[in-house]
Structure 1
Amino acid sequence: MLCQDYAKKPYFPHLSDTTEILSWINRKHRLLDEFLSYHADIICLQEVDRYGDHWRERLLKNGYESTYTQRTGGKPDGCATFWKSEKFETRQITKNSELETHEKCDLNGNVVTSSNSISKFLTNNVANLTLLKHRSSEKLVCVVNLHLFWDPSFPEVKLCQIFYTMKQTKDYLTSLSLEDIQIFFCGDYNSMPDSEVYEFLTKDSISLVECENDDGEKTFKHQITNPFGTATSLYKAVCGDEPTFTNYTKNFKGCLDYVMACNYPTSGEEKGILVSRALQILTEEQASEFEALPSIKNASDHISHAFDFDIMKL
């Protein structure tokens, strides 16, 4: 969404008139208009600030209940999940995860020991898990809304974060002994389709190369397994490939955002998701009309994903 605290001229040097494009009084209306234009039953937003004094009430007036997890460490933003109350009811209290301690993030338990190595995992990122019941079908939908670490220099941190998020989700759902759950991992992964994070999501396992920590000590070398087997990118399922970009700025253009779907086989039956349509992503010509994003037409530097789908049994 682009947190208002980060909507500043130094981050977006292509903008000449930052007042009209980046000011809160203008952006809040354009953002709300975009969110409502999709007529979505579930909305997942990242980099959300002003949730309590703006977004919660604005979307509640339009029929959405919601939950919010703010980042730790005094960060101003977080992840917010909204759902149409006429379509869904909450099945369970929302579970929030802080992806910030090495015990949670390190793939090999107590291997990371130096203070320098531990500190790089303290990124103040969060994930938000909401368990919903579809009113008409009574099917359960688990929505995990996440925002992984941004820095491209630390792919191992992002890999640890998604591993921890998926493992905690699997453990949580197992503890509830529920059946027929459809699971979505939605958000800003800050990871390209050729990254280890994407490979881990879409394959049943990934082999890690040997790494060294900041002190030159060996850290880990093993294979990690996706707790859900595999995940399917909804955009790729419809369009055949990921979009060229979902983030389009002056200094970076690439695909970082995904909606991944997992099946959770507790009843012994095969389950799946039928995706019928995907929102058409902006073309490069459209995105570059004003050189980069955000622009007078797009209030965020990221481009929205939206899908029509049916939950089904295969």
Structure 2
Amino acid sequence: MGSSSSIRFFSTLAQSLSSAPLEHTHTDADECDLEQSDPDALLRECEEVLRNRPPRPHRDFVRTRASASHNPQIRVMQWNILAQALGEGKDGFVRCPMEALNWAERKYLILEEILTYRPDIVCLQEVDHYYDTFQPVLSSLGYQSSFCPKPYSPCLDVRGNNGPDGCALFFSRQRFRLLRAHHLRLSAMALKTNQVAIVATLQCRITDQIFCVAVTHLKARSGWETFRGAQGLNLLQQLNGISSTESKEQEQSIPLLVCGDFNAEPGEEVYQCFLNSPLGLDSAYRSLSADGTTEPSFTTWKIRPSGESCSTLDYVWYSRHRFSVDAVLNMPSEEQIGPDRLPSYHYPSDHLSLVCDFSFIQEPHRLM
């Protein structure tokens, strides 16, 4: 995959975003023949490998005002983990030593973050080591998964790459049953784009509740605000179509969880489209603010040759009338992040993970 001929080939393809279909998507079968790993043992292994690195920033869960539900909680993680090829070959983190990005250790930092919080659902972006790392490791921990690569991933322009990056969705087999999975290629202004999404319909094995969870990664960079807005509208339309179909089959509305790196600040059009969508969505991390209407100051903080960037770009959207936000993982302080920002020896990505605890709000007719 890393030969110069393949780099030239994929670079040429990327010149024009045609309507080529999604390829090389993957969804696990429900069965898993792998021997199950002990998550505590794997966490200790991570800590041993990383013993010469500074510890990760300590973060606490903050209980919210809405945490009155007695239903079983669902822990959701949203995280752009930074594609290895981009971190080493394209992103230009000028204050991050190359040794800190060494995959042999950085993968343990990523796994340590996941294992520390033990989410029931994991939504990741910029995954370029799905097949050789995340799928086998997390499958052995009891997760079922689905992967959708970008049609023309910029990772393929990097020598020695590990294939295209994309979105990956993992969920606990013990907790959920997969009913359906959709791999979407997002459109903007009637044109197919390089951005994708996964939408999975899951059934909770404890409550029998059915819901949809989606993961996406919208177009990056300033100057593309209108484009991102069009992508967001297209995703909302497709989510509405999928949830409407599911609702007709279930004879009740299907709640949504939508996780992603939207590459958009709260003032952007795409954020407002989601906040004001007829799907009734809200952003879980707004519950950290005193008035419940303000996002955190940042979810990514990096230094590139163009300068320092401290932005809120990542979100966990949820159906406000169907889910209760019981707790969210708070953000580290500037002091914890450090003067060289992210990524670093103590944190593997330029984006911080978002972790939320949700519970279903019982519908009135189901209480009778």
Q: Shorter-normalised TM-score: what interval?
A: 0.7 to 0.9
SS in 2 for 1:249: strand
- 1:128 aligns to 2:177 (yes or no): no
Cα separation, 2, equivalents of 1:262 and 1:235 = 13
Letter matched to residue 78 of structure 1: G
The Cα offsets for residues 270-296 of structure 1, whole Å up to 9 and x where unpaired, read as x42111111011112212x14210011
How do 1:130-209 and structure 2 match up within 5 A? 130-176=200-246, 177=248, 178=250, 179-203=252-276
Cα separation, 2, equivalents of 1:301 and 1:73 = 22
Cα separation, 2, equivalents of 1:142 and 1:181 = 7
SS in 2 for 1:243: coil
- 1:235 aligns to 2:316 (yes or no): no
- 1:105 aligns to 2:188 (yes or no): yes
Letter matched to residue 187 of structure 1: G
Q: Of residues 265, 270, 279 in structure 1, which corresponds to 2:329? A: 279
Cα separation, 1, equivalents of 2:242 and 2:322 = 21
Q: Tell me the CA shift for residue 313 of structure 1.
A: 2.5
Letter matched to residue 174 of structure 2: E
Q: Tell me the CA shift for residue 74 of structure 1.
A: 4.7
Q: 1:11 matched to which residue of 2?
A: 92
Alignment check: 8 A CA contact 1:130 1:144 kept:
yes
- 1:85 aligns to 2:173 (yes or no): yes
Q: TM-score, normalised by structure 1?
A: 0.80
Using CA pairs under 8 Å that are at least 6 residues apart, name the structure with larger relative contact order, 1 or 2: 2
Cα separation, 2, equivalents of 1:260 and 1:173 = 15
Specify every segment of 5 or more residues in structure 1 that has no aligned partner in the other structure, as ranges. 110-120, 204-225, 264-270
Q: 1:26 matched to which residue of 2?
A: 105
SS in 1 for 2:148: strand
Q: 1:244 matched to which residue of 2?
A: 297
Letter matched to residue 165 of structure 2: D
- Runs (4+) of structure 1 exceeding 3 A deviation are none
Cα separation, 1, equivalents of 2:359 and 2:209 = 11
Q: 1:50 matched to which residue of 2?
A: 129
Letter matched to residue 85 of structure 1: R
SS in 1 for 2:263: coil
Q: Tell me the CA shift for residue 173 of structure 1.
A: 2.3
Root-mean-square deviation (Å) = 1.6
- 1:296 aligns to 2:345 (yes or no): yes
- Shift in alpha-carbon separation, 1:125–1:312, aligned structure 2, 3 A: same
SS in 1 for 2:105: helix
Cα separation, 1, equivalents of 2:133 and 2:113 = 16
Q: Of residues 309, 312, 320 in structure 2, which corresponds to 1:255? A: 312
Cα separation, 2, equivalents of 1:74 and 1:193 = 26
Q: Of residues 80, 95, 100 in structure 1, which corresponds to 2:182? A: 95
Aligned length: 263
Q: Tell me the CA shift for residue 249 of structure 1.
A: 0.3
SS in 2 for 1:242: coil
Percent identical residues: 30
SS in 2 for 1:278: strand
Specify every segment of 5 or more residues in structure 2 that has no aligned partner in the other structure, as ranges. 1-80, 155-163, 364-368
Cα separation, 1, equivalents of 2:356 and 2:153 = 33
Q: Tell me the CA shift for residue 33 of structure 1.
A: 0.8
SS in 2 for 1:124: strand
Alignment check: 8 A CA contact 1:238 1:275 kept:
no
Q: Tell me the CA shift for residue 12 of structure 1.
A: 0.1
Q: 2:42 matched to which residue of 1?
A: none
The Cα offsets for residues 218-246 of structure 1, whole Å up to 9 and x where unpaired, read as xxxxxxxx341x32011113433211000
- Shift in alpha-carbon separation, 1:292–1:238, aligned structure 2, 3 A: closer
Letter matched to residue 325 of structure 2: V
Q: Tell me the CA shift for residue 307 of structure 1.
A: 0.9
Alignment check: 8 A CA contact 2:288 2:296 kept:
no
Q: Of residues 134, 144, 147 in structure 2, which corresponds to 1:68? A: 147
The Cα offsets for residues 74-121 of structure 1, whole Å up to 9 and x where unpaired, read as 5510000111111111012x101112xxxx322xx6xxxxxxxxxxx6
Q: 1:268 matched to which residue of 2?
A: none
SS in 1 for 2:255: strand
Q: Of residues 105, 115, 130 in structure 2, which corresponds to 1:36? A: 115
Q: Tell me the CA shift for residue 180 of structure 1.
A: 4.0
Cα separation, 1, equivalents of 2:141 and 2:339 = 31
Cα separation, 2, equivalents of 1:135 and 1:180 = 18
